[in-house]
Every structure is written in structure tokens, then in C-alpha cells.
Amino acid sequence: MSMNYTVINETALIESGLGLVADRIKLYVHRQDPALFDLLNFEADPIFLEPMVNAHRRATYINNGRHTADDALAMPLRQILYGYIKPENRPATITAISDGKGWVYLPNLGYFKTTCKNTVLSLTYCQATHSLSITQDGQPISARLEPLQTVAGTGINLYQCNPTLLNQLFNKLEGPEEVQAETSFPEANITTVLPKRLPDIEKAFAIIRTYLPEYHHQLLMVAKGLMVFENPAVRPFATGFALGISFISTTPTDSVIYFIVELIHQFGHNMLYAIMADQKEYFLVDPMAPLAAFNYNPRERRTIFSAFHGLFTTTKIAECLEVLYHSNVFEGDEQREIVARLADNRRRFRTGIERIEHDRVLTPQGLELYEHLDSSCAAVYRRLDSVVRDYNVSNQPFMFTYSLFKEANPSIR
């Protein structure tokens, strides 16, 4: 089937999908708390794309099986959206709940760091002094509002703690059997990791902005937050339940190349969650159906949806790393790692979704997007065939490890 691939405007698809997501969240907020909804700017979609609202919506469904208000949620909706209400419209007092460290997180405003862990508190706003304060049972708590931290040159929030609503998402990950056997994951180490890795994170963003301007623009369309943490039991991930956040697990040996690839990868997932906000536009069957039922591979463990995500992110990584390879922005070992990651990424292309009967599974729009991605990734590897074809990636685990690549390919040193 011949296609004119220029007709796929990914930016327009992302924008349309985000609009649909915002409309769903507006309806959710109105159902949960009509008075709160009336305090917000209905026309401002970014308010309703706050990831914590999406996480709240998920928790409401899980706790109640339906849309009903639940004061027992880990973070009240009014606490989540308080920072988006114009100061002159803010309720004088709301309930706020601290997390397991005692932090009270107010999206779009900042943090109160208290010693009251997992505690119901009161947040008060004084119109006269434009100040916020925290009390417990009417007694003032000595804590000041500390500002949010953002990635330089963007409005992307750098999470300084792991709010309970987000921490709940960690246990939903697919992972190795030994990880799945864990009854609970150890706490993600955020506070000590972020200052150490911030220079590499900001360098990674600067390189994406300079050398990959279109991808940078699309990234900023979806990106609301970035959580960087150390936890060997959790791989980097993104989830539609917190659309707009990339969760990046790191180790002390990770290079700036690692952060570039994971930003491309995890915000790529966020892009596709937005694009496919209405899954019926892309799939004729339940996208959560096992892919094995359609490609007849008994070893296949993914759903149709996760396999499509794999194609999307593999393609984005290939497209972006090809540009960086030719731009010579890196040299020496860093440039060699670009080549190594291109070689590794190639093994993740065409791993099963290409073998299904697409007309049975995908709508015309879904097929168009599939062919656009498949063609683009294939073209990258045709152009780079002589660069990557002779490298051995057979010893690589799920997460690419450059040191193992060098062991298997001594000539790259």
C-alpha cells in the first residue's frame, strides 16, 4: 500500500489529543466538585492537563468504581488545583494532606515541608498579605512555602518528592519476574538524586532543543513534569494515568546520552498517549488485547497497545539519534555510545506488531499512523546500515548497558 507519509502531522495529532484529554478532565472536575470547577478558568486547557488530576481520577475509579467524591484520597482535588485558582478567587481555607515524608505538595505553587507525615492539615490563604500557611487542628505549623523547581528554559516541573498519588503508579509496572514478586517497591530516592543529576538533565534538554527542535516542540506540548529517582527495582516509565510526566530511574554511572534517550523515550510515550486519547479512532479491537492472539507468537507478552507504543518510541529514538549522530554534537566515547544505542534500538524494531493482519486490528487512521512510523524507522536503519550492522547486541538486557556493549564489541573502544 503506497502512502504519502507527509500527510501525518504528529504535532496536530498531539494537539488534538490533548484537547480531548482536557475536556475529559473538565467533566471529571465538574462532577467531583462543581464549586471548585467554577473557580477555575474553563478555557485554560493546561490547568486541566495537570497530571495529578489524572492520577486523582484514576484513584477515584479504583476506590469507588465510579465518579464519586472521596475525601479519603491521598491528595484532595482542591489541594491539587488550588495553585491554578487566581489569588482573588481562592477559598480562604482548604484541606491538604501531607505525604509520607511530611511534605504538602501544591501543584503550580510549591511545597510545605512539615514533620507531619500522612496527616490531614488545613491550608489558609490570607488575601491581605498574599500568604499561605499550614495548621493542624487549629495550631500553626512552622513551615514556609518553598518554590517549585523547573527545568531551565521550560515550565517542566522537577518533582522534589513523590506524592502518594504518583507513588501508587510505581506498583503497576510490568517488569522482570523477580521484581513483580516484590510485595512493595522501596521508596524512590528523589531528594538526593535530583541535585546530582540536574546538570546532565539540563544539558540533555539543551541538546534536544538545539539539535532536535521539532521534537523539542512536541515534547513541550505534553511535558508537565519530570521525576528523576534511584530505585533498581523500577525501570523508567510513563503512564496515561499521569499524562505529562516522565519517570526516569537513574544510576550513578548513567551518561548524558542516557538522559537524552530516556527523555525522547518517555516523553514519546506521553505523546502517543495524547495522540491516542480516543483509541477507537485507531483500533478496531480492544487495544489491551494480547498481541499473541493476532501474531500467533506464544512467547509474546505485550498487548496491542504496548506494542504500538514500542513502535512509536523506537521510531522516535531512531529519528533523533540519527540527527545527533550526524550533527557531531558529541565526540569520543559519547559519540560511540550514540552508535551503540542506535545498534541496540534496531533490535527493538519489528518485534511482532508487523506480523498481525493490520486490517483486522487497525482503523484506516491507525494503519496510516502505523505505516508512517514503520516506514520512518526502516528508512533510518537503511541509511545507517553500514554504521550499525556489524555490532553485537546479543548480551544486552532489557535496559541497554553501554559497558556490556563494549565487552561484546571491543573494536568500539
Q: Is 72 helix (H, G, I), strand (E, B) or coil?
A: coil
Alpha helices by DSSP H, 42-108 = 45-48, 51-64, 77-81
Q: Alpha-carbon distance 155 to 245, whole Å? A: 12
The pLDDT score that the predictor gives to residue 41 is: 96
Residues of the chain with pLDDT under 50: 1-6, 67-72, 172-184
Q: Alpha-carbon distance 62 to 69, whole Å? A: 12
Q: Is 103 helix (H, G, I), strand (E, B) or coil?
A: strand
The pLDDT score that the predictor gives to residue 183 is: 42
Q: Is 276 helix (H, G, I), strand (E, B) or coil?
A: coil
Lookup: cell for 214:
521539532
Task: Tell which residue, 109, 54, 16, 400, has the closest CA to residue 236.
Answer: 400
Decide if 159 contacts 227 (C-beta within 8 A). Answer: yes
- Bridge partners, 212 (sequence order): none
pLDDT digits (tens, 9 = 90+) for 75-110: 999 999 999 999 999 999 999 999 988 999 999 999
- Bridge partners, 294 (sequence order): none
Beta strands at 120-126 and 131-136: parallel, antiparallel or unpaired = antiparallel
pLDDT digits (tens, 9 = 90+) for 366-410: 999 999 999 999 999 999 999 999 999 999 998 999 999 999 999
Q: Alpha-carbon distance 83 to 110, whole Å? A: 8
Decide if 106 contacts 148 (C-beta within 8 A). Answer: no
Q: Among all chains, which residue has been given the C-alpha cell 486519547? A: 277
Decide if 316 contacts 265 (C-beta within 8 A). Answer: yes
Lookup: cell for 203:
544539558
The pLDDT score that the predictor gives to residue 253 is: 92
The pLDDT score that the predictor gives to residue 190 is: 85
The pLDDT score that the predictor gives to residue 186 is: 52
The H or E element containing residue 337 is helix 332-346
The pLDDT score that the predictor gives to residue 20 is: 98
Beta strands at 145-147 and 93-97: parallel, antiparallel or unpaired = unpaired
